[in-house]
Amino acid sequence: MGFTVTKSPSVLVPPSAPTPPGDLPLSSIDRTAAVRSLVDMMLVYDHGDNDPANFLKRALSMALVAYFPIAGRLVQSTPGDLHVACTGDGVWFVEAAADCTLQQVNNLELPRMIPKPDLLPSPPPEVDLESLIFLMQVTRFSCGGFVVSMRSSHVVLDGLGAAQFLKAIAEMARGLPALSTAPIWSRDSIPSPAKLPPRAPLLSFTSFPFITCSLDLSVESITKIKNQFISGTGHNCSTFDAVTALFWQCRTRAVGMDPAAEVSLGFAINIRHLLGRVLPRGGGGYYGNGVFPMAVRATCGVVAIAPLAEVVHMIRGAKERADVKFAGWMAGEEDEDSYRAAADYAACFVADWRTLGFSELDYGWGDPVNVVPLIDDCNLVASCILMRPPAPAQGVRLIARCVVKEHLAAFTDEVMKLTEDLY
């Protein structure tokens, strides 16, 4: 059965009070090519206000007073040199209604029964999408539940920054007299690297027809991996280490490359503790990009057959080198641009959304029953996002878009087999 989403025309939501004009610089991290993308996601709520769209529109307008750069536009003054023009134009907002209940579409779990474009906001066709920093859509369902969908520019907001802004909207929606965290811009406080290495082309511009899948790992499986690592090394490892090692090994086995071929795993490290040395208030309230990418490389044969604890050790080693690696990048000591992502089938990237705060965004009717990253268009780099599964489930959910169709069954089988072998 097909379901229909009816959208109202896009409208601009400006800040609810006058905001400062002018241009604001971006940081050297904001300007990296690796972050020039829109991040799409949905928050699913099973109940709410009778008119959630107008309710959230007002809260958004109020939050934009403190977060006035988000109401502006990205402008390119010279090739590759972006800044934010604080125009106060506002955020494009779409109100929509679906002719079904959330139960009928399984809270928008995979396989998704409503197409992604129906659920995501878009500006009028004459508007340059790449200049926009944030868009929002509120879709009401016939059961009284609703979905808040947003698109945010990674140039201006990283995951923690986007969650901080959404938290500000939620606080305004709940009637708080002031924001719990005052935002700071201060991008010019972050020094630029002493020199950047010459930009090498991506390894490939090939677009791969990746398939999106969702897999849940139990607390017991994750604990077994951690215990194996403790038994073998005498050291603890994190849930991220354990789950990412399992993902990388299963994906490597599934794609079946030559054992001598090199495979790589990338992930982002939070470096706000380092940026806090140069930012006001120790960086509290900073919502720009505060991550540094790290990579682990090994041959396909090693990753595929190594004990899982050894793969965990590789990942932990990269994490432990991150501070020194970032300092070297800032000092111009790196021979390669760390933010230049590899993009061929041998490379994959993991992002951890579990602790960003998306699962605790309460607009007045409780936390979302589902948080959904919309990665259906991510076809250059194999990716996996670590999520909290919907309550009351525990453990970790993998939202993976990491293999093409012919490798999907092998990937899911490897995950199931490896978790079963842990018992």
Catalytic residues: 154, 362
d(CA 197, CA 310) in angstroms, rounded, equals 32
Q: Show Cβ contacts of residue 319 under 8 Å, excluding neighbours closer than 6 positions.
A: 241, 269, 294
d(CA 353, CA 411) in angstroms, rounded, equals 22
d(CA 347, CA 266) in angstroms, rounded, equals 8
Cα torsion 115, 118, 119, 124: sign: positive
CA dihedral 302, 408, 154, 39 (to 10 degrees): -160
Q: Which two tokens stand for residue 276?
A: 């806090």
Phi-psi region of 117 (alpha: psi -120 to 50; beta: other; left: phi over 0): alpha
Length of the chain (residues):
423
Cβ pair 114, 108 in contact under 8 A? yes
**Best CA proximity match to 36, nearest among 68, 74, 89, 86:** 74
d(CA 279, CA 272) in angstroms, rounded, equals 9
DSSP string, 20-38: --SEEEPPTTTTSGGG-SE
d(CA 281, CA 183) in angstroms, rounded, equals 11
Cis peptide before 392 (omega within 30 of 0): yes
**Best CA proximity match to 206, nearest among 365, 380, 59:** 380
Cβ pair 363, 45 in contact under 8 A? yes
Q: How far is CA 116 from CA 32, 103, 347, 375, 376, in A?
A: 27, 18, 26, 10, 8
